Every structure is written in structure tokens, then in C-alpha cells.
Amino acid sequence: MLSVVYTSAAKGSFDDSDLATLLMNSRSNNRRLGLTGFLLYRDGLFLQVLEGPDEVVRDRLAIITADPRHGDVAVLVEDEVAERRFPSWSMGYEAVTDELAESIPGYRSTFDDIGRGALGAADQPAVRQLVQWFQNRAPEAA
């Protein structure tokens, strides 16, 4: 099973209605395809964890990369995992508010430095810690 963490930049604006539509479609597709994970959105940037069968994750990532609503797609972490970290989340979602961001270990005021291909090997533990933090506080299902 493959787990991928990637970032992308929204092309154009995403308001609450756009995000709700994106989530509804993603959750439906992910259930059908056997994918799980979560999505963060802040100031026009997405950070997403996708996990599931290797080929399905790679295919979905290719679709996202080709989607005109996304730009600057960058894979930050790619891991083979024995078990899903978010088994009941077809697509968990959280808007990263300033208040939430301040409570997250490895707090970053934006995703800019990790969302533009600037992530080095030394930064991967911070991304992994972020994923672990959300896993630890995950509700039963999303």
C-alpha cells in the first residue's frame, strides 16, 4: 500500500462552496477507488495525504497533476505502508486557521516553503510529524 503526501497550488480562488464541491467529489471517488487520506487548505495551497493501492494512488496523483485547478504539484513524502493511517477517512478535511496552525507541532504560517519543491531530506520529518499529529486527533470518519 502506498501513502503519498503532496502539495499543490490552487489555480484561481477556492471559496467555501468550491471546497465543499471538491470534497464531495473527492470523497465519492476515493470510496469507489479504495483511497483514504486527508486534505489541508490554507491561503491557496493544498497539502494532501493519499493512501491506498499503489497503482490507484499513482493514477489519482496523475489526474490531480493534470487537473487545471491545481498547479505546482510536488510530492513531499512517498512511503510503502503496511496499514492505512486514516482507514475511515475517505477524505478528511480541515481548513488551517491561524488558531489551529499555532497548535500544530512544527507550526508553519504557510505551506509556501514546502509547496514549491523546496523540501529537503531534513524537512521530511516535519511533514511526517504533521501527518502523525492529524492521525492522532482523527475523528472516527470523514
Looking at this protein, which amino acid is placed at residue 77? V
Provide the residue ranges of all domains of the chain, joining segments of one domain with +: 2-136
Written as tens digits, the pLDDT of the chain (142 aa) is 999 989 899 888 888 888 888 888 888 999 999 999 888 887 888 888 899 999 999 999 999 999 998 899 989 889 899 999 888 877 766 555 566 555 555 544 445 555 444 444 445 555 666 666 556 665 544 4
Q: Report whether 39 contacts 26 (CB < 8 A).
A: yes
pTM, entire model: 0.72
Could you tell me which CATH class the domain 2-136 is placed in?
Answer: alpha beta
Say how far apart CA 138 and CA 12 lie, in whole Å.
30
